[in-house]
Amino acid sequence: MTIKNIIETTPTNTGVCVNGWIRSIRIQKKICFANIADGSNLKGLQAVLSEHHAKKLTTGTSVQFRGKLIESKGTEQAKELQVEDVKIYGQCDAATYPLQKKHHTPEFLREISHFRSRGNTGSALLRTRNATVMAFHNFFQERDFLNVQTPILTTSDFYLTVSSQLHLEILSSSASKVYTFGPTFRAERSQTSRHLAEFWMLEAEMAFIYSLDEMLNFVENLLQSIINRVIETCPAEIHHFAKYLNPTLTSRLSMTVNSPFVRMTYKDALDALNSSGQAFTFPTKWGSPIQSEHEKYLANVYCRRPVFITDYPRHLKPFYMRTRDNDNSIVACVDLIVPHGGELVGGSLREERYEVLEKQIKEAGLSAEEYSWYLDLRKYGTVPHCGFGVGFDRFLQYLTGVENIRDVTVFPRAYGYCKY
């Protein structure tokens, strides 16, 4: 049994066997206290030992404790282990062990990723990441989506996938509602706290969606539901992040799940930027991309909550996005920007009209022959449909309050950084 299961389900005065690693040890005159952890919960389990049993124990030592689970006399935990027998699996030299009983910076922990998950924050992130993955799967499964696997190697002018969207569109034309969750790659040189060369994306495609608002409602419900579910599953971890990483995290998450997301068009966003009185580095005129500095102002200052930005000029977006019926220079698309996180979701209605799509492929300088299979989907039984992608690692940043995206993934891959 894991420590979590023992604490939650085992009655006191019951004999138990616990395996794990020593996180800390305090040796007093007649009695010793050790904290043993196995990664299943935040606080581990306090063990009470005799001086004889604690003699060879140091921080980092892997052990097996046998004894009786009893009510704790302390206030920090309800139960503790009265140790009767100790088995040491692996000794640990406390003098050279990288994880000492002190605060370690994220930068230092990044350099010892093989030990990072042994710390409180590292193990809490592992459990939260797992809970978030399961919450996404459960959300889609409960709504009759099919989880599908799309290729990583592609036949385009790149070798590793940057999106599964086109393949998902194939499957949504028969299965109606599909999603995939997996690694995505970007060969970019960004060294910011929000970029990785390898990251995880959740992408979904839905057939028979007629309006952009319908998709926005779905995405808003998705993210609010996931946050609520993770808060329910990992309350101790979220409390830990709020206490040690971001004191505004609890209020931020509460605002996100209890308030509707702001919705504005690209034109509305430009108007807000131009009336802000801010001196931006990049232009804020019609046809210019919305840059990171603009996103920060809109989400952090102007809206102060997640904001959907819709209806971009067509030349700023890919060929497959559907143009508006009343203005073919505008596409029915969306970017979701979140405070202190930037772009989290991107999506659109897909162009389902054969002639329009063929024209847009050619205008983009692409070969209609190369995309003949994609056009076939519009030739034979086309339907209105939409799709979107969620940057999973960025979502975890938002959910946990972690400043750097390299700290929410166990083995980060970024430009110039590929350790382990």
Domains of the chain: 3-97 (2.40.50.140), 114-407 (3.30.930.10)
The H or E element spanning position 14 is strand 14-27
More confident residue, 413 or 329: 329
Percent of the chain at pLDDT above 90?
Answer: 77
pLDDT tens for residues 13-65?
A: 999 999 999 999 998 888 999 999 999 999 999 999 998 888 889 999 999 99
pLDDT tens for residues 198-215?
A: 788 999 999 999 999 999
Q: For residues 395 and 181, what is the distance between their CA atoms, to the nearest angstrom?
A: 14
Kindly report the average pLDDT of the chain as a whole number. 92
Asked if 405 and 212 touch (Cβ cutoff 8 Å), the reply is: no
Q: For residues 114 and 125, what is the distance between their CA atoms, to the nearest angstrom?
A: 14
Q: Give CA angle at 313 (310, 314), nearest 5°.
A: 110
Residues linked to residue 81 through DSSP beta bridges, in sequence order: 47, 69
Q: For residues 113 and 19, what is the distance between their CA atoms, to the nearest angstrom?
A: 22
- pLDDT, position 35: 95
Whether 290 has a pLDDT exceeding 50, the answer reads yes
Instruction: Measure the N-to-C terminal CA separation of the chain; round to a whole number of Å.
Output: 31
pTM across the whole model:
0.93
Whether 306 has a pLDDT exceeding 70, the answer reads yes
Six token digits for residue 160: 């590793």
- pLDDT, position 154: 66
Q: For residues 218 and 199, what is the distance between their CA atoms, to the nearest angstrom?
A: 23
Question: Which amino acid would we find at residue 188?
Answer: E
- pLDDT, position 160: 45
Q: For residues 70 and 11, what is the distance between their CA atoms, to the nearest angstrom?
A: 8
Please, is 13 exposed, middle or buried when counting C-beta atoms within 10 Å of its C-beta (0-12, 13-18, 19+)? exposed
Q: For residues 155 and 149, what is the distance between their CA atoms, to the nearest angstrom?
A: 17
Whether 159 has a pLDDT exceeding 60, the answer reads no
Asked if 385 and 378 touch (Cβ cutoff 8 Å), the reply is: no
Whether 408 has a pLDDT exceeding 50, the answer reads yes
**pLDDT-derived band of residue 164, with 50, 70 and 90 as boundaries?**
confident
Whether 356 has a pLDDT exceeding 80, the answer reads yes
What integer is the mean pLDDT of 360-365? 93
Asked if 407 and 125 touch (Cβ cutoff 8 Å), the reply is: yes
